[in-house]
Amino acid sequence: MKAPSCYVALVFTAILIVGCNVPPETSLTPEVIERPNPQTEPPPLPVIDPTPVIVIGEALEVSQTCLYDAQINTTTELEDIIVSPRKAFIRSWVLRNTGACDWEDVTLVFVSGEQLGGKNAYAIPQTSIGEPAALSLELIAPLKPGQYQSVWRLQAPDGRAFGPDIHIYAVVQATETSLTPQAGQAVISEDGCVLDADFVTDVTVPDGSALNAGVSFTKIWRMQNIGTCKWGEGYSLVYAAGSRMGGQASIPVPPTAVGATADIAIELTAPAKEGGYTGWWKLQTPEGTPFGVWPYVRISVVSAPANTPVSVSPAQTAYSDYIHNITTHAREIYLDGQARGNRSNVFSKVGDSITDTPAFLVPIGNGKYKLQGYTYLQPVITYFSTTTARTGNSFNNISLSAVSGWNSFDMGNPDKVAGTCQAMTPLQCEYSLVKPSLSIIMIGTNDASGGLDIAGYHRNIQAMVEVSIAEGVIPVLSTIPHNQGGDARAYNGVITTIATTYNVPWMDFHDAIWDLPNHGISDDGVHPSVPPTGETANFSTDNLQYGHTVRNLLVLHVLDVLWRQALY
């Protein structure tokens, strides 16, 4: 579980969200925010960079000016986002560079209002004149209910703002829970200082972790002293409500200075019966006065095959920064798919030769893998290995929607699977026969290499996402890797924009291998590299210097987080 406060990230393409449940709080009278009228507000003035550019040669000096300006092409900024206290949420825009110079070293800066958990400034990726830039901010709702406004502006390298104001409107509403515990309040001590605590992160056992019945585990919360009183000897964490899971009634809290954090560990045992369980805990003084936010633990107890190693995925992994948009929407798609008869422990593969290869996931399906330091991924491998998808388990199945040489236009061509499914696209055919709960989708390398119409590519990816959602299949999009013969970043911009628009999961394979030798690409300039031994499922340090090995490990992490947070 968690109490309030969540991981915050900004991505200028789309984002992995991790929300957190918060106990209810006393409602406050919301403050009414006056909004600017978009019909009457004067347009922002463009910024002119007066710095002269000197061209030396035959004593010739030429002075130029650089015009910075931007336009919001699509936005949801005038819509209220209704969110629970301390919940993570996203606001997205598509901006266009309407100035006369490329955006380099341009930043987005906070101007006024409520910062909503964001930083003061974020770097904008380089954007050419006339090109769009997808922008998404992952923010955190304040603890207190009410109406909040946040205003942001683009800023040129010389520090001057340009383009329109970017507004965010959030309405924070208290929510009910089945346990209705108190969120916890700041308390004035007898000495006159303030006792208060905030949740920082789950160090172990993140929300929704699936555990075998009866297994013992260690839950660690990281809490911060946000009051003005030092936590001294005798402070403790005590059981408050919900499932106690065999935990002690009271756990000592280490002495913690004002502003510092403390990791608080408790030994628990998963209940014997399958189902979901939540236990609440609270901090208290030596005199027994409770204060601050209540942390909680939420698990799902499952039955596991005999001799399955028990391991709990950590809250953060080396690949967390490359996994985005794991939200409640994925859970909603999954539940719809279950009603349609989709199979929870089956996934599909969608793509071209980078997916249609023995190097991608097949060794895992064949049992030829070495997890090395990633043994916590064994349960999710077991989960997706026990059911036949069509020709094999999900890892080594021959997919009808992953064929070498295909581009995004082939995915919409019924002729490609006419011998198997009549009047269906390859994706529809795959879904109809396999009935997966989710699909791993990476297509676009051949589009980029051939310079195919990017607007058409956008329509194709959008259609694939819409078909997936309509069939109750969670579409997990992936960026394509670096391509020496095409502009991979342009096509990746489409992928991340669509993932943000439809609020579906995506992984950034491109950036995950960017720092590897040759950007994780083999000598052909197109396909991910493979270790000399060919062991793309041996996750040793040496093998993780190759693109295909990283992709396999990244996909396992995506499957793991979806299994724990959406497929329960």
**pLDDT for 298:** 84
Over residues 56-79, mean pLDDT: 55
Q: Does domain 10-172 have CATH number 3.40.1800.10?
A: no
Give the HSE-up count for residue 529: Cα atoms under 13 Å, Cβ half-sphere: 22
Does residue 370 surpass a pLDDT of 90? Answer: yes
pLDDT in tens, 119-177: 778 888 899 998 888 777 777 777 677 788 888 899 998 888 999 988 888 877 754 33
d(CA 523, CA 277): 51
Give me the architecture of the 320-565 domain, per CATH: 3-Layer(aba) Sandwich (3.40)
Q: What's the pLDDT score for residue 342? A: 95
Q: Determine which of 115-119, 355-359, 366-370, 537-541 has the lowest per-residue pLDDT on average.
A: 115-119
pTM greater than 0.85 (yes/no)? no
Q: Does domain 187-302 have CATH number 3.40.1260.10?
A: no
- Reference 247, options 216, 203, 224, 225; nearest CA is 216
Q: What is the pLDDT of residues 470-517, one digit of tens each?
A: 999 999 999 999 998 889 999 999 999 999 999 999 999 999 999 999
Residues 461-481 as b/e (b if ≥16 CB within 10 A, e otherwise) read beebbebbbebbbbbbbbbbb
pLDDT at 272: 79
Q: In this predicted structure, what is the pLDDT of residue 315?
A: 59
pLDDT in tens, 392-401: 999 999 999 9
Q: What is the mean pLDDT of residues 221-246?
A: 89
Average pLDDT over residues 386-409: 96
d(CA 264, CA 277): 20
User: Distance of alpha carbon 493 from its chain centroid, rounded?
Assistant: 16
d(CA 219, CA 202): 8
- For residue 74, the model assigns a pLDDT of 56
Helices and strands (H and E) in the chain: how many? 9, 27
Burial degree of 490 (CB within 10 A; 0-12, 13-18, 19+): middle
| Sequence spans of domains, the chain | 10-172, 187-302, 320-565
Which of the pair, 34 or 351, is modelled with greater confidence? 351
Longest dimension (CA), the chain: 86
Do 10-172 and 187-302 agree at the fold level?
A: yes
Cα 115 from Cα 149, distance rounded (Å)? 8
pLDDT for position 316: 66
Enter the tokens of residue 226.
Answer: 């946000």
